[in-house]
Amino acid sequence: MATASSGSKRTPKSSAAPEVSVLRVGHRPGRDPRLTTHAALAARALGARRMYLNPPDPDLIDRLLAVDRRWGGGFEVVPVTDWKGLVRSFDGTVAHLTMYGLPLARVLPRLRRARRILLVVGGAKVPPDLYRLAGVNVAVGNQPHSEVAALAVTLVGILGLPTSRAPRGARFAIVPQARGKRVVERPRAP
Ligand code: SAM
Predicted confidence at residue 15, as pLDDT, reads 59
Model's pTM, two decimal places? 0.91
Dihedral angle of Cα 95, 96, 101, 107, to the nearest 10 degrees: 20
pLDDT digits (tens, 9 = 90+) for 145-166: 999 999 999 999 999 999 999 9
Q: If you measure from the C-alpha of residue 168 to the centroid of ligand 1, how many angstroms do you get, rounded to a whole number?
A: 32
CA quadruple 51, 54, 56, 62: dihedral positive or negative?
Answer: negative
Number of C-beta neighbours around residue 149 at 10 A? 15
Which sign does the torsion angle of CA 21, 92, 124, 147 carry? negative
Higher pLDDT, 110 or 14: 110
147-159 and 33-45 helices, crossing angle to 10°: 10
In the predicted structure, residue 19 carries a pLDDT above the cut 80: yes
Q: Is the pLDDT of residue 12 over 90?
A: no
From 7, 8, 3, select the one nearest 21 (Cα to Cα).
3
What tens digit of pLDDT does each residue of 70-79 get? 999 999 999 9
Q: Which class is domain 2-163?
A: alpha beta
Give the mean pLDDT of 33-42. 95
User: What is the C-alpha to C-alpha distance for residues 78 and 5, in angstroms, rounded to an integer?
Assistant: 8
Q: How far is the CA of 27 from the centre of ligand 1 (A)?
A: 13
Q: At residue 8, does pLDDT exceed 50?
A: no
98 Cβ closer than 6 Å to some ligand 1 atom: yes
Residue 22 above 80 pLDDT? yes
CA distance 149 to 185: 31
CA of residue 97 to ligand 1 center, whole Å: 7
Residue 66 is which amino acid? Answer: A
Q: What pLDDT was estimated at residue 14? A: 53
Per-residue pLDDT tens for 78-112?
999 999 999 999 999 999 999 999 999 999 999 99
Helix (H) or strand (E) holding 52, with range, is strand 50-53
**CA dist 66 → 2, 33, 39, 62, 132 (Å):** 18, 15, 16, 6, 36
**Where exactly are the structural domains of the chain?**
2-163
CA distance 139 to 105: 9
- Tell which residue, 52, 34, 54, 43, has the closest CA to residue 149: 43
152 touches ligand 1 (CB under 6 Å): no
Q: What is the pLDDT of residue 126?
A: 94
Pocket of ligand 1 contains residue 67 by CB under 6 Å: no
Q: Does an H or E element contain 148, and which?
A: helix 147-159
Taking alpha carbons only, the member of 131, 50, 136 closest to residue 93 is 136
- Confidence class for position 1, pLDDT limits 50, 70, 90: very low
pLDDT tens-digit series, residues 107-150: 999 999 999 999 999 998 899 999 999 999 999 999 999 999 99
9 has a pLDDT exceeding 60: no
pLDDT at 190: 66
- Helix, strand, coil percent content, the chain, rounded in steps of 5: 35, 25, 45
Q: pLDDT per residue over 24-37, tens digit each?
A: 999 998 887 899 99
